[in-house]
Amino acid sequence: MISNMLSSFLKKLLFARQFFNMNGKLEILGERNVIMEPELFLMLNEASYGLGKESAKIFFEKYKKKIDLKQNNYSNLMNLLEILGLGSVKIMKVGEKSATISVKDSIISEQYRKKRGKSKSNTCEFIAGFLAGTFSFISNSETDAQETACASKGGSVCIFEVKW
């Protein structure tokens, strides 16, 4: 039963309606979160493509047997990325050696605009790296990802081009 796996603190948050994980947004006590505090995440993001890529590789290697991840199951992997709190992740297009991914409500672009205003450049380096690592796992080959549009610059979603 899933309720046996939840910590007592998480159960209290759920009961008090202080924990939400919907549409790629993780909120605890009324604040949007990801694995760490959003401000720290925003600061780390500025130099974090490599960190995101390695984080994804480590994550998927560690958990693939525990949660029965299949390398070619794109939609399950994208759903998992949403649960992590990065944003609402959707596959727009998958080709033989490439994919186009959109991320709505990116934790990074949301926090960037909230703390610093509109950006002149793309800001979601960690997510680009995490997607590269994710698709390295999926394709079992070296992968790179680049953010081609960013909500921090005023758009509604972030778009990433992934190539392997």
- What is residue 66's predicted lDDT score, i.e. its pLDDT? 67
Short-list 46, 42, 34, CA closest to 81: 34
- What is residue 58's predicted lDDT score, i.e. its pLDDT? 86
Q: Locate 67 and state its tokens.
A: 């949660």
- What is residue 1's predicted lDDT score, i.e. its pLDDT? 46
**Phi and psi for 33 in degrees, rounded to 5?**
-135, 165
Q: How far apart are CA 56 and CA 117, in angstroms?
A: 28
- What is residue 83's predicted lDDT score, i.e. its pLDDT? 78
The domains found in the chain, sorted by start residue, are 37-163 (3.30.1380.20)
Q: How far is CA 150 from CA 75, 83, 105, in A?
A: 22, 21, 10
Q: List, for residues 142-152, the tens digit of each pLDDT value.
A: 999 999 999 99
pLDDT beneath 50, residues of the chain: 1
Q: What is the CA radius of gyration of the chain?
A: 16
| 72 contacts 20 by C-beta, under 8 angstroms | no
b (16+ CB within 10 A) / e for 134-163: bbbbbbeeebbbebebbbbbeeebbbbbbe
